[in-house]
Amino acid sequence: MKLNELTIKQARALLLKKEITSVELTEACLGRIKEVDDKVKACLTVCEEIAMSEAKKADERIANGETGELLGIPYIAKDNILTKGIRTTAASKILDNYIAPFDATIIKKLKKAGAVLLAKANMDEFAHGASTENSAYGLTHNPWDFDRVPGGSSGGSAAAVAADMCLFSLGTDTGGSVRCPASFCGVTGMKPTYGRSSRFGLMAMTSSTDVPGPITKTVEDSAIVLGVMAGNDKNDASTPDEKVPDYNKDLSKNIKGLKIGVPEIFFGEGLNKDVKEIVNIAIKKYKDLGVEFISIKLPHAKYGIPVYYIITPSEISSNLARFDGIRYGFSEKESKNLLEVYTKSRGKGFGAEAKRRIMLGTYVLSAGYYDAYYLKAQKVRTKIKEELDNELEKLDAILIPTQPTTAFKIGEQSDDPLKMYLEDIYQAPASLSGLPAISIPCGFAKDLPVGMQLIGKRFDEEKIFNIANVYQENTDFHLQKPKI
Amino acid sequence: MKLTKKEIEHIATLARLKLTDEELKKYGSQLSDVLSYIDQLKEVDTEDTEPTAQVTGLQNVLREDVIEDWDKQEIKEALKMAPEIEDRQIKVKRVLD
């Protein structure tokens, strides 16, 4: 097996036995990026020199007897996560020349743990999208079929893991942006509970639902990475002081007798027939393992998209106000006055989808419309959240398909924003409620990966890790590799 | 819900976005479509429902108001990102015409 194809767990065992070095592992990943990324286009910036020097440092730490779980492990981070001294664009022209002056908290934690940053991954501009087609630097191709999208918005991060350019990657999930690409690319994507890991140093999109999460080859690896990322941060007041459990401890616990809810609404109209069949086979597998399935009703879940597409653009219009051509980023030199600096820099710097969302958010928050849109959406959000919380009180988890289809063709729906927004329909409820949700591969439809999603109770990532891991112990879908 | 050209222009002004005529036209019809779609929220009875702004359950997270030293090099790097600098200050166009 090639070193870049290893899981974190496998690589760590070899590193500690001194059979391989982090330098070798890092070289193998950088080599793979060189070999395939002109076709996949997952990376926006590759930081070869920094990576090699970090790998050398990790090898020294290992030689000194350190045994950290991510020590010497190469990874890729989505480009909306600040990485000190490294170009960080959020795939937007407005940040074309931006070098992050400090590290996001999660990057700091990974650095301290000795993980090796290889590259920054492509994404939909400012994470607005479900296909990575909204990147200002060109699209990313799905490693399973180059004519198809990798999903989004963390499309580069998921494609990079699927193509073995790294051992794991970081994404951010606001309304499905880790889970959707994980599903389309056949890898494991974890959206933790809102507040579980710090948003400090993430470029804010929807501050009330943004959360960073790991994209990995296995559930075991996901548990390792989240264990390092998670925890209270004084620079992010929305991270509660909850203890971070040892996520590795109960991964293989017997799941016999657990209760999983299946919401009828997500298995009806709009769900692709093949995807439905494959997810139903996965349910059957769980039943064989002793899990009890209970049909549940979520009458307000269908309002997830309209609520999400009021709250999200509202928060975006506010969060993206900071890009004004004054302190950093693109600034239009040909401006007569201050107002023109703002309007021209923003008009030229932002891409179409960012502008569309800023416009929508500005409208729904504008005088006379606030109550009808924003306040109404926040009230329906309460209904969606309460409904899920009530059901989860009686259950261990909820299982639904991650996406209603497999990866769609490039360009197929990029002209129709509303259709693209509907891609988030299976993602919005967990995001709006701040619940943890993991997407794992559960089969293939016409040679394209299908993912299923397990949604858990707030701050109970342990349980969904356990349920997802036992599935991977009994199946091999997560081990399949695309032929590139 | 059909937005007029004037309304779209007004939103663009509020959003501080200079848009081309073509963009104004395109966003006009696309925003109208999205607004018609989200109009379905009207059917939900929210008479006695409190709004949810965040889901952590945390309230009023406070800290002491103290000055923290920030890494000098990071401050320097941050300032370097500005389009125009004069004496450690970011230069902008005059605010009053």
CATH number at residue B27: 1.10.20.60
Residues 277-306 of A with CB under 8 A from B: 300, 303, 305-306
In a domain, B33, yes or no: yes
Task: Indicate yes or no: CB of A338 within 8 angstroms of CB of B95.
Answer: yes
The parent domain of residue A269 ranges over 1-484
How far B47 CA sits from the closest chain A CA (Å)?
9
Task: Indicate yes or no: CB of A327 within 8 angstroms of CB of B27.
Answer: no
What's the pTM?
0.97
In a domain, B11, yes or no: yes
Find, in chain A, the residue whose alpha carbon is nearest to that of B49. Answer: A379
Q: List the single residue in A328, A363, A432 with the smallest CB-CB distance to B11.
A: A363
Alpha-carbon span A358 to A356, nearest angstrom: 6
In a domain, B19, yes or no: yes
Alpha-carbon span A426 to A442, nearest angstrom: 16
Q: How many domains does chain A have?
A: 1
Q: What pLDDT was estimated at residue A263?
A: 97
Q: Does B24 touch chain A (CB under 8 A)?
A: no
In sequence order, what E strands does A181-318 have? 188-191, 211-216, 259-263, 292-296
How far B72 CA sits from the closest chain A CA (Å)?
11
Alpha-carbon span A33 to A119, nearest angstrom: 9
Q: How many domains does chain B have?
A: 1
Q: What pLDDT was estimated at residue A67?
A: 95
Find, in chain A, the residue whose alpha carbon is nearest to that of B23. Answer: A352
In a domain, B61, yes or no: no
Token pair recorded at residue B41? 């929220």
How far B71 CA sits from the closest chain A CA (Å)?
9
- Number of continuous H segments (helices) and E segments (strands) in chain A: 15, 11
Highest mean pLDDT among A285-294, A359-368, B55-64, B75-84: A285-294
Task: Indicate yes or no: CB of B58 within 8 angstroms of CB of A238.
Answer: yes
Continuous segment of H or E residues that includes residue A121 = strand A116-121
Task: Indicate yes or no: CB of A309 within 8 angstroms of CB of B38.
Answer: yes
Task: Indicate yes or no: CB of A362 within 8 angstroms of CB of B14.
Answer: yes
CATH number at residue A467: 3.90.1300.10
Helices assigned H by DSSP within A136-187 = 155-162, 179-185
In a domain, B80, yes or no: no
Q: Does A480 touch chain B (CB under 8 A)?
A: no
Task: Indicate yes or no: CB of A326 within 8 angstroms of CB of B15.
Answer: no
The parent domain of residue B22 ranges over 5-43
ipTM of predicted assembly, 2 dp? 0.95
Can you give the pLDDT of all 484 residues of chain A as single tens digits?
899 999 999 999 999 999 999 999 999 999 999 999 999 999 999 999 999 999 999 999 999 999 999 999 999 999 999 999 999 999 999 999 999 999 999 999 999 999 999 999 999 999 999 999 999 999 999 999 999 999 999 999 999 999 999 999 999 999 999 999 999 999 999 999 999 999 999 999 999 999 999 999 999 999 999 999 999 999 999 999 989 999 999 999 999 999 999 999 999 989 999 999 999 999 999 999 999 999 999 999 999 999 999 999 999 999 999 999 999 999 999 999 999 999 999 999 999 999 999 999 999 999 889 999 999 999 999 999 999 999 999 999 999 999 999 999 999 987 788 888 888 999 999 999 999 999 999 999 999 999 999 999 999 999 999 999 999 999 999 999 999 9
Residues 393-422 of A with CB under 8 A from B: 417-418, 421
Q: Range with the lowest mean pLDDT among A63-67, B25-29, B48-52?
A: B25-29
With a CB cutoff of 8 Å and minimum separation 6, the contacts of A224 are A8, A9, A69, A70, A247, A248
